[in-house]
Each structure stands twice: as C-alpha cells, then as structure tokens.
Amino acid sequence: KQPLWVPDSEAPNCMNCQVKFTFTKRRHHCRACGKVFCGGCCKQKYKLQFLEKEARVCTGCLDFFKAQTFEKMSSTDPEPSSTTSCELSAAESPTREAQAPNIFATPPSPMAQLQRPRIEDVCPRKEKKKITFVSYPSDAKTEDARRLPSTAQRLPPNAAKPKADNVSTNVNPKPVQKVNLVTRMKKLPSSFSSSGAPQAVARPVKAAQKHTKKQHPTAEAASTSYSSVPQAAGVTSPSPSRYRKLCGVEKCVSKAISLVRDGDQLPPLLLAVREKGKDPLVDKQPSRQRVIFLLVEGSPYPVTFILNANLLVNVKRMTYCSVKCWYFSTTGLHGLGQAEVIVLLQCLPEEEMFPSDMLKLFIDIYKGAMNGNLIKNMGNITFTEEFFGTEDWGGFLFVSPTFQKFDEQILPDKPYLCGILIHKLEVPWLKVFPSRLLLSLGAEFGMLPVPLLSVRKRKPVFTELGFTVFQVLGVSKRNDQLTVNTIDNLFVHLEDNRCCVKIPLRKYNEVMKVINSSDEYAITIGATPSNEADSFLACVQDDSGIYQTKTVSVTRSRGTVTSASFVMFKELTALSRLSAKYCTIEDGIIVQVTREILQSLREALTDKKDYKITCSKTNSKVKKFIDIFWVRDEDQTNKRIFSPVDGLPMEGTLSENMFQAGNFEGTEKALNCAGVYYFVNNYELTNPALRLLAEEIAAGCSTALCPHLNSLKDSGMNKISIRISVAADTVEYTAGSECCLLPKRYLNKLDSTLVPAIHSRMSDPASLPLKLELVFFIVERL
C-alpha cells in the first residue's frame, strides 16, 4: 500500500539524523514509509510490491525488509544451533509494530523486534482504560492524570505532560474514606510539640487512572491493580528503565556467573523481550554469520548479548568523530551498585566481528562489583594477561562523560562511566595521576576535556614515569609509590591575573584527608577537568623523557578560562620581596607562600572558610590573586537521574551505595538495596538518624518483599524504589516501579514492616524532618 507522504514544509530537517536541508543537501522521500530523509539516510533501493519495481527507501525500512527475509530463512533452518527458546513469527512483527503509536523517528522495523528488546505495557493496548475518581468535597477539583509511558515506548518532545498531582502512601493510623486507588492518607496524633519543625502534609489525590493487566497464570500478582503515579509540576518524563530487559532472562539461560565461551563461540543472544505470558526470545547458540549480519553498520538498534542472568551487553557498529568504532554498553551493573559502563572502541579495517575480549572485560567488572570493588569516576582496571592478543595494553580508565552527544536510545541508564583503553606503558600515570593521563590523551587526539574513543593503533603518550615535579616537591607517597590525591568536582581555573580554586562543600571530608596526609611545608590537590574552561593545561613528554606544558584550546582562540590539573601550595624557601607568588608547571599551578600564610590556609580549609592570597606588590598597579573558595551549589550532582516512583529528578540530593549492607537473599533471587538518596538542605550528611533509618527501611523491605521476588520480577518490577518522609506530625511512604505504585497486596506487606520502623524514628523530635529514597534491584543468585 502506498504510504502518506510527509509534506516538505513539515520537514526542515532529516527525520533520522536531523541534518538541516539546504540547497545542496536535498530532501528525499522514502517510498516505503513516506517520511523525509537526507541522501545519506535514504540512498538504498528495494523492490516494493505496490510499485512492482525498485525504489528509494530509507535505512529503517531497508532493515525492515532485510529482517523479514532473514527471519523467514531462520525459521526454516533445520540446524539445532539456530533454535531459540521461544517462537516469534516474522509475519507478526510488522503487525505489532503497526498497532503501536508512531513514536519513533525512524519507520517501524522488525529490527526493533529482533535487536531492540521490547517490554509489554503495564496495560495491554487493546484493553480500555478505566478512570477511577476519588470522592472529595465539592470544592476539590478532579483532573485526569495520564499514565507514564511503558518501557517499550518513548514520548516525543511535544507529548502532553502529566498533571501535577502527587500520590503518596501515608502510614498514619487514622483512616479516611476508602477508595479503590491504592493509597494511604491519614493523620498522626503527635505526642510532642511540633512547633518550629517543618511539617510534610500529604496532598489529596485528585484523580488517577487504574490499569488492569492480565498476567501469566502462574504469576502471583494476577488480577492486581496498577496505579500510575502522577508527576510533579515541571518534571520531564524520564526514559523507561533499561534494567527491565532482564525480566524473564533467567528462564532462558543457566545460572552460571559467565556465559562467555572460549574461542569463536558467542554467548546467548537476546532477540526480543518477553511478550504477554511468554519468555524472552533468546538464541542460545548464535552463529557468527548471524551476528555479523545483525551488526551491519547503519542498523538503528544494537545487538544484545546475555553474559549472565543479571548482565546484558549491547553492541553496535557506528561512526563516532568520523571514526568507525564498536560501541558497547552494559545493562545490569546497577543491581550491584556499580555504574553502567560504555566503551567506544576503534574498529580496525576489515574487522567484521568485535574482539571477544571485551565481553570478558565486562564479566571481570561484574565479578569485582560482586565483591564490593566498585569502579568510580577516574577509577581503573588493569590487565594481568594478554588483551586483544597482545601485551601492549595495560587496562582501562573510567571517566564520567561531560557534554558529548550520543543517541539516547543506545545509552544505558544513568549513572554510567566510559572506559578508555590505556597502553601498558601508561599504567604508572593511570595509578598515580589519572587526570594527567586523561588530558594528555585528549590533547593528543583533539578530544577535550574527555576523550571517549579508545584508539587501538596508537603510541603511548608517556613512556615512563620519569623526572616529574611531584618527586621534587614532596608529594605524599603510599607504599613507596608516588600518589596525587584527586578530588572529584574540584576545579582549578586560570584567568587574567587570577587563579581560582573551587572546592565543593560536599567534598569536605576528602579535603581534610588530603591536608592531614600532606607534609608541613606543602599541600597538593588534584583537580578535575572543568567543563567551564575553554582551554586546558596538558603535560606532554618528549623523546628524552622531559615533561613540558602544552595549552590546548577548544575554540582555537585565546582562552579566557584555562583549566589546570592540580594546585600545589608550597612554603617559600628563599628570600623574596613577595609574600606569595604562583607559576605554571607541567599541567598544574604551584603557589609559593610564607609559612604563616600556609598555616592560615590550613585553618581556613578546616573551618570551611574562603581564603584569598595576594601575589603582587603593595604599590603595584597590576594585582594578582589566588582565590580559594567553597562552592555551595555543586555542579551536576545526580543529574538526569530520576526516581522509579514518579520520575522525580534526584539532582541535588546526596547519595551513597548500600550494596553490601543492603543485600538480602531469597531462595533463587536476591533483593539488593544498591543506593539511597538523601533529601537534605545542607551539603553533607550530618544527621546520623538518616543512615539508621535507611538501614531499618532496607531490612523491613527485604522482610516484606523477599517472599514475593518471583512474582514481582514476573510482573516486570525488578527495580523498585521506596521514598520515606518523616515530619513532626506526619509520616508517609511511597513505593513504586516504572512510575507506577506497587500493587496493593505488596503495600499491605510493607505496612507491617515499615510502619514500626518509621514510627520509631519519631521518638526523637530533634532529628526531624527526615526524607530519603531507597532503590532496590531484584537479581538472580548466581
């Protein structure tokens, strides 16, 4: 059937790569879907039935036809190695896609069925939605709150946002009018005065949609009601959690900790996420030829491998910065409290298959996380054996991406880190001072401040540790090895006649560790590359091993703010007409001051006070200063992390891992409390009652939910969050997953364990108010 054509006036940009159309960059209509693309995205030809000849089609439609042909060929393959754990008709894939709303930028494609796992909606599409209104006084307005999208959908930018209602689960003893919506809103009689203490009053629920979902007969949660949680005003709908892809995978693979095989054999391939009442579509023994076909460049979705029942790795062949590369991303490390990992690895010429050593790398990261060895920003992993068949490579450096742009469809859930391949000769600087190595790589390949691409055919930027300024000026040593303490989000800026050292308030404890471990005559602090800078100091090593300073500009013009990698405060050893002076050396700043100024600086840092050092003569017209000040609005803390309860942004909260203390095991599965978020007004966790409450809530949730882990995961709820608010006369909690409240039967179980723990905290009025959120993951016991 001939499609409807999108008018030229409605498509100023390519509907795939978003490039703007110009006189030379012309429009091309895809004859299969009718959308408008550029020449690069719509250059293929395919024989269409309604035209009875070959015509121009876009890459998405071409993938559709290729996948349809490939699936028909696979369904007739008599070889046992091509069998899968469940059946999926290729003829049904376009039908299901046609029933879904047109919410993707590319045309519907069965590659989304074969390569991009789909997860069923909480409410079946064909089932009508029933609206349940809660009865309140006549002056209370009722509004319709739309349900947030399921994990198989993505809202377009102009989609309607939910109303600003707030559904809470209040645990106070006095009942109110009974309604069908899963909610508890009650008032707690206070036994002490609440004057002067902030009160958290639960807001009335105005309206909510109720969705009923048919489940597999064996599921415990059959015929259970799901209630969506309306979002707060101004909150953007978060992307659905990728972690939900793991639901049902455990039924298709063994419980081994590693499914990565030796030789050319590949681990199981996840072709499609579970449909209603079915297990996921898994190819347990994928052939090499099939994977090569699915990894063809230009395919919109990655290929997903199952490394174990708790860990998936997505692989895609793509172009980044005009370089052909392999893209890897993990799904499942969050369940162990570890940030997800992405790697952009240079693709060698004539390389059809990615290196299998990369899959073993992700297994090593998983095993380390199981033992509590978590990799953080500027962390690393080193090799003790050959990698890529050679001993040239020494490990990976993991960093947080800054403002690099990627396709959101292939990125993992935040937080995530990017791994950068490190040469064996660069390992000493990897352990001593990773910031120096990072900026040197960025300067070498013109990618600042963070080079995300791992270049395989390159020379090391450092050949040996050599003669460095740190050895001369007495940086602290640990086990007879040179170490530079780097503080995350601490920035050193060089401006005209001014040097600024910005210290985040939340890193106070780390600053104190640096001061206490420093010598009496010197303080050295490693800094993070700044996103505010337009040029960077980089340290390069010449052929003779001597270190030199190199200023690299991002804008090709003279920078107004230059970022340095460290700052060193050192006592003056010679007579000088100045009480202080500073200079640039290697990739940092050395500030020489008198003994009195150095002691005053130590006291100011200990007391969290700002400090200014004048480096010019009294009668000089040009004034030079060193400004050390504490930053009260730390940059991008927990940015773009959203609550699974209602999509509430977690930006600005304090967070910490609780994996070891919050790991609760059932018979086949475990409930891991991988993280806790504290809603505090100050910049450090000074209230000890918060941590105690978090531990008690984690233990209470495990008691209530561990007997139901199978039914929860079968229902697609393998990532659960519980938010608790305790005020002077009001306590409440909200439990949900994927922006939906937990079914009522689970909330009743939580009541019996959480209510006593929450009320016990109210006996200490001085510790109130308390507000925190715990995130739980259901994982398989391997």
DSSP string covering 301-333 = S-EEEEEETTEEEEEEEEEETTEEEEEEEEESG
CATH number of the domain bearing residue 20:
3.30.40.10
CB contact set of 327 (below 8 Å; sequence gap of 6+): 302, 314, 315, 316, 317, 318, 320, 342, 343, 344, 410
Please tell me whether residues 478 and 604 are part of one structural domain: yes
- Per DSSP, the chain holds a count of helices (H) and strands (E) of 13, 38
**pLDDT value at position 603?**
94
Please tell me whether residues 297 and 235 are part of one structural domain: no
Position 196 in a domain:
yes
**pLDDT value at position 623?**
78
CA 230, 236, 237, 238 torsion: positive or negative?
negative
CA 751, 754, 758, 763 torsion: positive or negative?
positive
Please tell me whether residues 311 and 424 are part of one structural domain: yes
Which of 583, 618, 636 corresponds to the end of one domain?
636
* Count of domains observed in the chain: 4
Residue-wise pLDDT for 372-411, tens only, equals 899 999 999 999 899 998 999 999 999 988 777 776 668 8
Position 458 in a domain:
no
Exposed, middle or buried by CB within 10 Å (0-12, 13-18, 19+), for 509? exposed
Q: Please state, in angstroms and rounded to a whole number, the distance separating the CA atoms of residues 383 and 363.
A: 13
Q: Please state, in angstroms and rounded to a whole number, the distance separating the CA atoms of residues 200 and 726.
A: 7
Place of tokens 């993991």: 398
Expressed as residue numbers, the domain containing 327 is 242-412+416-446
**pLDDT value at position 481?**
58
Position 89 in a domain:
yes
Please tell me whether residues 333 and 310 are part of one structural domain: yes
Helix-helix angle 59-75:92-99, to 10 degrees: 140
Position 615 in a domain:
yes
Say which DSSP state 692 is in: H
Q: Which amino acid is at 230?
A: P
Which of 610, 636, 662 corresponds to the end of one domain?
636
Please tell me whether residues 608 and 644 are part of one structural domain: no
Do residues 402 and 450 touch, judged by C-beta distance below 8 A?
Answer: yes
Please tell me whether residues 544 and 632 are part of one structural domain: yes
Task: Indicate yes or no: pTM above 0.85.
Answer: no
Place of tokens 């602290």: 476
Give the E-state strand segments of 407-504 in sequence order.
Answer: 416-423, 453-454, 477-478, 481-482, 491-495, 498-504
Position 622 in a domain:
yes
User: Across the strands, what pairs with 744?
Assistant: none
Number of neighbouring beta carbons within 10 Å of residue 55: 16
Give the H or E element holding residue 656.
strand 654-657
Number of Cα atoms under 13 Å in the Cβ half of residue 217: 0
Which of 604, 636, 668 corresponds to the end of one domain?
636
Residue-wise pLDDT for 303-331, tens only, equals 999 999 999 999 999 988 889 999 999 99
What is the pairing mode between strands 416-423 and 453-454?
unpaired
**pLDDT value at position 597?**
92
Please tell me whether residues 211 and 316 are part of one structural domain: no
Do residues 747 and 740 touch, judged by C-beta distance below 8 A?
Answer: no
Do residues 647 and 235 touch, judged by C-beta distance below 8 A?
Answer: yes
Q: Please state, in angstroms and rounded to a whole number, the distance separating the CA atoms of residues 616 and 608.
A: 25
Please tell me whether residues 622 and 655 are part of one structural domain: no
| Helix, strand or coil, per DSSP, at residue 211 | strand
Number of neighbouring beta carbons within 10 Å of residue 155: 17
Give the E-state strand segments of 58-187 in sequence order.
Answer: 130-133, 169-170
**pLDDT value at position 240?**
59
User: Across the strands, what pairs with 54?
Assistant: 47
Do residues 33 and 61 touch, judged by C-beta distance below 8 A?
Answer: yes
Please tell me whether residues 254 and 392 are part of one structural domain: yes
Q: Please state, in angstroms and rounded to a whole number, the distance separating the CA atoms of residues 215 and 316.
A: 33
Please tell me whether residues 148 and 230 are part of one structural domain: yes
Please tell me whether residues 226 and 261 are part of one structural domain: no
Phi first, then psi, for residue 486 (nearest 5°) are -105, 135
Q: Please state, in angstroms and rounded to a whole number, the distance separating the CA atoms of residues 764 and 759.
A: 10
Position 501 in a domain:
yes
Q: Please state, in angstroms and rounded to a whole number, the distance separating the CA atoms of residues 454 and 741.
A: 42
**What residue ranges of the chain have pLDDT lower than 70?**
1, 70-240, 274-277, 407-409, 471-482, 556-559, 573-577, 617-620, 633-636, 659-662, 682-684
Number of Cα atoms under 13 Å in the Cβ half of residue 97: 21
Do residues 211 and 146 touch, judged by C-beta distance below 8 A?
Answer: no
Position 538 in a domain:
yes
CATH number of the domain bearing residue 223:
3.30.500.40
Q: Please state, in angstroms and rounded to a whole number, the distance separating the CA atoms of residues 326 and 318.
A: 6
Position 630 in a domain:
yes
Please tell me whether residues 541 and 626 are part of one structural domain: yes
Do residues 769 and 726 touch, judged by C-beta distance below 8 A?
Answer: yes
